[in-house]
Chain A
Amino acid sequence: METSQNHLGAASLDLTQVSSGDEVRVRHLACSPTTCQRLREMGFCENALVTKIRGGADLVCWVCGTRVALSARLAKQILVEHVDGKS
Chain B
Amino acid sequence: MSQDSPKRWIAVVGNPNAGKSTLFNALTGLRQRVGNYPGVTVEKHTGTAFTLHGEAVELIDLPGMYSMAARSPDEEIAVKVLRGESVGLPKPDAVLCVVDASNLERNLFLVTQVMELGLPVLVALNMVDVAEARGIRLHPDQLSEKLGVAFIPTQAHRGKGLVELRAALGQGLLKPGPRQWTMPPPLAVAVGQIASAWRQSEPSELRAEGKALELLAGSDVGPDGARKLATAWRERFRKEAYDWSASVVHARYEYVRKMLGEAGVGSGKLGGTWTDWIDAVVLHPVAGWAVLVGMMLTLFVSIFSIAAYPMGWIDGAFTWLGGAIQNALPAGMLRDLLIDGILAGVGGVVIFLPQILILFFFLGLLEDSGYLARAAFLLDRVMHRVGLSGKSFIPLLSSYACAIPGIMATRTVEDPKDRLTTILVAPLMSCSARIPVYTTLLAAAVPVALFPVWGKAAAMLGLYVLGTGTAFVLAWLFRKKLLGGGSPPLILELPPYRMPSFQTVSLRMWERAIIFLRRAGTVILALSIVLWFLSSFPNTSDDPTEKLAGSFAGQMGHGLEPILRPLGFDWRIGIGLVASLAAREVFVSTMSIVYHVGGEEEGLVTAMRSAAWPDGALIYTPLTCLALLVFYVYALQCLSTVAVAKRETGGWKWPIFMLLYMTGLAYLAAWLVQGVGRALGFS
Report A's interface with B, CB cutoff 8 A.
31, 33-43, 45-48, 51, 53-54, 56-58, 60, 62, 64-71, 73-74
Contacts and interface: CB of A to CB of B under 8 A. Distances in A.
B619 to A, nearest CB: 48
B381 A57 contact: yes
A31 to B, nearest CB: 8
A42 B105 CA distance: 10
A13 to B, nearest CB: 18
B486 to A, nearest CB: 10
17 contacts: A37-B245, A41-B66, A41-B69, A45-B250, A45-B253, A46-B246, A51-B270, A57-B285, A65-B136, A67-B275, A67-B494, A69-B380, A69-B490, A69-B494, A71-B384, A71-B389, A71-B390
A15 B414 CA distance: 23
A38 B103 contact: no
A60 B491 contact: no
Contacts, number: 111
A70 B376 CA distance: 11
Interface string B255-269: 000000000000110
B175 interface: no
A68 B494 contact: yes
A54 B271 CA distance: 12
Nearest to A34: B71
Nearest to A57: B381
A42 B71 contact: no
B512 interface: no
A56 B67 CA distance: 29
Given A65-B102, A65-B267, A42 B381 contact: no
A37 B69 contact: yes
Nearest to A62: B270
B377 A48 contact: no
A62 B381 CA distance: 21
Main secondary structure of the interface of A (DSSP, over half): mixed
A65 B103 contact: yes
B249 A66 contact: no
Contact of A47 (B104, B250, B275, B492): B250
B279 A68 contact: no
A69 B390 contact: yes
A40 B102 contact: no
B593 interface: no
Contacts of B380: 57-58, 69, 71
Residue among A38, A56, A65 with most chain B CB within 10 A: A65
Contacts of B102: 65
B659 to A, nearest CB: 33
B491 A42 contact: yes
B109 interface: yes
Closest 7 CB pairs of A and B: A74-B489, A65-B103, A71-B490, A67-B494, A40-B249, A64-B106, A64-B105
A76 to B, nearest CB: 10
Given A37-B246, A41-B69, A60-B494, A65 B106 contact: yes
Interface string B91-109: 0000000000011111001
B283 interface: yes
Given A38-B71, A45-B249, A66 B103 contact: yes
Contact of A60 (B104, B279, B384, B390): B279
Contacts of A68: 491-494
A73 B384 CA distance: 11
B548 interface: no
B586 interface: no
B66 A38 contact: yes
B489 A45 contact: no
Given A37-B249, A60-B494, 12 more contacts: A35-B488, A40-B249, A41-B249, A43-B253, A56-B285, A57-B380, A60-B283, A60-B377, A65-B136, A68-B491, A69-B494, A71-B390
B283 to A, nearest CB: 6
Contacts of B429: none
